[in-house]
Amino acid sequence: MRIFDSRSQLFSKVSTFDGKLRVASPAPRLLWKNFNFCPHCRNHGRRDLVDRLTEWGPVISRSDGKTFHLVLGDRPLSYPAEKSSGNTGMMSAGFWYVHDPSGDSTEVVVVILRNPPRCGVPLLRHLETVSDRLAEKLSKPTPLASLYEFDGSRLYRAL
């Protein structure tokens, strides 16, 4: 048995105290973050440069390299946008994503941010967390809803 084979057996099974071997849970999917060149598009033979509407800030993006990619479309905006509603303390953020085998259809999901940080690094970290939560949902076969809310810790479908 080669060393590689014995290592893969060692790490693919877990020995328990009762002496039985059980298969370990599968490793989590590799996730690419904040890329300028999309590994998902590259793997499907498409143009891989990530398009941005503005040069507002750093690219916030996620991909598993095979089944999806997700990109923050632009900076977050006050929500609702009408001045008559006053300052609600909320923002909305729009994300573009592709989540199909052909990769031909770009979809949009909007996330309402409840009481987010107003600007700077704290806001970027907040958006990073939202991106991670959306990527978790995209790693499953069920489609995304078009509207979610994020309360700072939990991402849930808006009614």
Q: Residue 142: inside a domain, yes or no?
A: yes
Do the domain assignments include residue 57?
Answer: yes
Residue 89: which of 55, 123, 57 has the closest Cα? 123
Which range among 7-16, 30-39, 117-126 has the greatest average pLDDT?
117-126
Q: Does 83 fall in a domain?
A: yes
What is the tally of structural domains in the chain?
1
* 24 part of a folded domain: no
Residue 22 to residue 12: CA distance in whole angstroms: 9
Higher pLDDT, 29 or 61: 61
Of the pLDDT bands very low, low, confident and very high (cuts 50, 70, 90), residue 42 is: confident
Query: pLDDT band at 17, cuts 50/70/90?
Result: very low
Averaged confidence pLDDT in the chain = 79
In a domain, 79, yes or no: yes
Q: Whole domain around residue 122: which residue ranges?
A: 29-157
Task: Over range 57-67, report the average pLDDT.
Answer: 87
Residue 135 covered by a domain: yes
Domain for residue 82, yes or no?
yes
What are 112-159's pLDDT values in tens digits?
999 999 889 999 999 999 999 999 999 988 889 999 999 999 999 997
Q: Is residue 76 part of a domain?
A: yes
Q: What would the mean pLDDT of 106-114 be, rounded to a whole number?
A: 95
